[in-house]
A and B are shown apart, each in its own frame.
Chain A
Amino acid sequence: MSDILRTSGLTKRFRAAPVLSHLNLAVPEGSVYALVGPNGAGKTTCIKILMNLLRSSSGYAEVLGHDSRHLSPQDFAQIGYVSENQELPEWMTIEYFLGYLKPFYPTWDDARAAELLRQFDLPPARKLKELSRGMKMKAALASSLAYRPRLMVLDEPFTGLDPLVRDELIESLLDTAEEATIFISSHDLAEIETFASHIGYLDHGALKFSEEMAALTGRFREIEITLASPAAIPRPWPTVWLPPETSAAVVRFVDTEFNQERTVAEIRRLWTGVEDISVSPMPLRAIFVALAKTGRRAA
């Protein structure tokens, strides 16, 4: 599988402050790639550089095999970009908006556009400025899906939307995922988990990991150890384990490289009098929270 998006050493500084730091990212074609991370991690900046909305301070970004600084109209004809802060031409009605965009896209599909209007329950004669935030997001998505883009880039598309609208958007994205690559940044981890095939975690401008969702959820485990009596935290603490929380004789931590035999052996080596070891799989949200906490502590 070739990479449809790729960055190499991508760095962005606003004045002196680094926002992205030597980012190396690869998004395989056909994947649903979720870029997650806490606020201010650099997700939106990364996307804006990929879409040639911002210029990087150094490094390289490639989209559809082309330098992102030189994306041509032909490239944009294959890209659908939807952002929570996008300014739409609010004076247009939905119908006029879609009609206006149609000649820009050789692959525009009228039937698909009509289907999306129906699916999203969008009133064609309503002006964009008269739409709620959710409806506006749906209109933006419809205008980007109607030409069956090869790559969909979504920047926080679910922020501030009610669950119903969110479900509708995800449903339409899932339909699209069969024929397009989706690159999405989001805080909505529970939703992301349901359909993302790949995930990247960005923190303080640096990519902490980037891998397939199954591999990620497979290697993260929450471990709870019950000891015979309270004991000190062993030093040195294994680097693949996130910092622990202790309560009396109970120690909890997250293992980021879980392997049943190796993890248990390591626990028994570090503590004596281990009475019980409990291993729990972690949902994406729990992984994200644990990583965010660790990142904050480190900062």
Chain B
Amino acid sequence: MRQALHIFGKDVRCLTYEIVATLALVATYVYFSLAGSRAFPTEPFTAIMLPIAAWVLIARSIHAEALPGTQQFWLTRPYSRGSLLTAKVLFLLTFISLPKLVSDAIIIQKYGHSLGPVLPGLLWSQVLLFSAFILPLAALATLTSSMVQLFFSSLLLLPILLFGFGDAFGPMSWIVHAYTAAALALASIVIVAMQYSLRRTAMARLVGVALGLVVMLGAAAIPVSFVVALQARQSRRQIDASQVRVSLDAERQSARPIASRDSATTVSNVDVPYPQIYVPLQITDLPQDADGSDMDARVIGTGLRIEAADGTAWPSGEYLDTRFSNYGQSQMDLNASVPRAFYTRVKDQPVKLHVTAYVTLFGHRRTTLIGSELTPIPGGSVCFIEPPSRGNVRICLGLFRSPPNLILWPERRSGPYETSHSPFPADLGVSPVRIFGFYPGSLLDRLPIALVTLEPLAYIQREFEIDGRPLRDFEQPPPPRTQLIQRP
């Protein structure tokens, strides 16, 4: 440990300017977060600069004893590799993790939280910061010997971030995020261990590329069936949801405009490669909550498969990435983009639509009165309403993560994308405060107003078929465009 502290001391002296610049940036960030509007907790410039400053510190500290190469003086000195690694970890914890911990702790005070209740979120966000940010960059730094090399290597992380930290599964995306963070951390540990113990850079680079591909492809290939099955295991109560039905909302289906039938004009859309298919859905026969009221339901994922009369089908495999919209209690739309060639061929044939819907049942309804003061709501968030002078907007802020509960403002309803079904107390992010439920509200004359929260209680999957309808009945007219051809 003595040698580790000795190397740590040297790094502090060597990187004094970088350390001072990073700490100044953190202080600026905290200052703006405290001094700025409570509705905009994140100051964008420093929020972007902080990860960059951290990237520089990681690179400079690891590169101070670069591992690739044969000409560095330290390679033939009596360095203990264990002490060297300990020194680097200590440095990154001291000058990246600790400032983030302190700044988060200061910022969340502004939102009326004492440290005790948010400690799990505070600590878990540190775990995420280290495993999904510091470790991967440190691993890349062990494979490079200059900032330029590291910069271009860091670009290789972008596809992993894209596939691994997206929102493809809405409230269930935490499963992919958790996989990505864990896989990234594991891959990084393997590379760091290889480099600090064996210092075989060529082999470690190959392993790095292979592991990076595994992480990325793994994140991209996680099937929704797995995600849903895993999410279903998170159900808090045993609820008999066997009678819950998801079906075509025939009333809305017949009332909606159909492109081929109702358009006064024919859109020149031959160049549109993917005509839009909309299927209005309804959820019925919801179970009752403990207080006797019906539970609420929201779709959190949908899938569609179209089988034509001639035996062809689209997609050929499982297609589960359709879009959807919730229109409040029990009503929602499924939306899919169908390849034009398939659509043109089968649009007039009777088809079979195989619909899959993943649904969250919400209950345990609770009401909280919200005024202009910060008010905690069930689930760990705080809400307030800005006075008319500041726009009269309704705002909720989550600490370290999106809220677990469905939040229903009067007249407006939270969509499932604003909630996260993650069991973890924090998501990865620069700011400890997540803003959501930011509505350009109609003017509210009287405060406080009642806000309803509902807990996610169960996650279910339903499938049904719509048979014998031509596909064109489900086509949505494309948005109006400037070049229209008048019907003769």
Contacts and interface: CB of A to CB of B under 8 A. Distances in A.
Interface in A173-202: none
Interface string A85-120: 111110100001000110111000000000000000
A236 interface: no
Interface string B225-252: 0000000000000000000000000000
A101 B77 contact: yes
Interface in A121-154: 140
Contact of B73 (A52, A54, A89): A89
B17 to A, nearest CB: 11
A136 to B, nearest CB: 11
A83 B77 CA distance: 13
B77 A51 contact: no
Given A55-B200, A100-B10, A103-B3, A76 B73 contact: no
B109 interface: no
Contacts of A103: 2-3, 6
B200 A104 contact: no
A5 to B, nearest CB: 14
A89 B73 CA distance: 8
Contacts of A105: 78
Contact of B76 (A51, A85, A91, A100): A51
Interface in A40-95: 48, 51-55, 73-77, 79, 81, 83, 85-89, 91
B78 A73 contact: yes
- A: interface residue count bin: 20 to 34
B24 interface: no
B78 to A, nearest CB: 4
- B: interface residue count bin: 10 to 19
B56 to A, nearest CB: 16
Contact of A86 (B2, B14, B64, B71): B71
Task: Name the residue in A51, A77, A100 with the highest tally of chain B Cβ atoms < 10 Å from its Cβ.
Answer: A100
B76 A81 contact: yes
A54 B70 contact: yes
B79 A104 contact: yes
B3 A79 contact: no
A94 to B, nearest CB: 13
A91 B14 contact: yes
A174 B75 CA distance: 26
Contact of B80 (A51, A52, A73): A73
A104 B76 contact: no
Given A85-B71, A103-B6, A53 B76 contact: yes
B38 to A, nearest CB: 44
A55 B76 CA distance: 14
B73 A87 contact: yes
A89 B14 contact: yes
Contacts of B77: 76, 101, 104
A81 B80 CA distance: 17
Contact of A79 (B69, B76, B79): B76
A89 B60 CA distance: 13
Contacts of A77: 78
Interface string B4-47: 00100010011000000000000000000000000000000000
B75 A53 contact: yes
Contacts of A140: 73
Contacts of A87: 69, 71-73
Given A100-B10, A103-B2, A104-B3, A88 B73 contact: yes
Contacts of A54: 70
Contacts of B73: 86-89, 140
Interface string B185-202: 000000000000000100
Contacts of A91: 14
Interface in B316-374: none
Nearest to A72: B78
Contacts of A53: 70, 75-76
A247 B5 CA distance: 71
A299 B126 CA distance: 63
Nearest to B74: A89
A81 B75 CA distance: 10
A223 B422 CA distance: 90
A159 B200 CA distance: 30
Nearest to B2: A103
Contacts of B72: 86-87
A73 to B, nearest CB: 4
B78 A104 contact: yes
A88 B75 CA distance: 11
A79 B75 CA distance: 12
B78 A76 contact: yes
Contacts of B75: 51-53
14 contacts: A48-B70, A52-B75, A53-B75, A75-B78, A76-B78, A85-B71, A86-B73, A87-B72, A87-B73, A96-B13, A100-B10, A101-B77, A103-B2, A105-B78
Given A73-B79, A76-B77, A105-B78, 13 more contacts: A51-B75, A51-B76, A54-B70, A76-B76, A76-B79, A83-B71, A86-B71, A89-B14, A89-B64, A89-B73, A96-B13, A100-B6, A103-B6
Interface of B: 2-3, 6, 10, 13-14, 64, 69-73, 75-80, 200
Counting from the closest, the 9 A-B pairs by CB-CB distance are: A73-B78, A81-B76, A53-B70, A77-B78, A76-B78, A87-B71, A104-B78, A73-B80, A88-B73
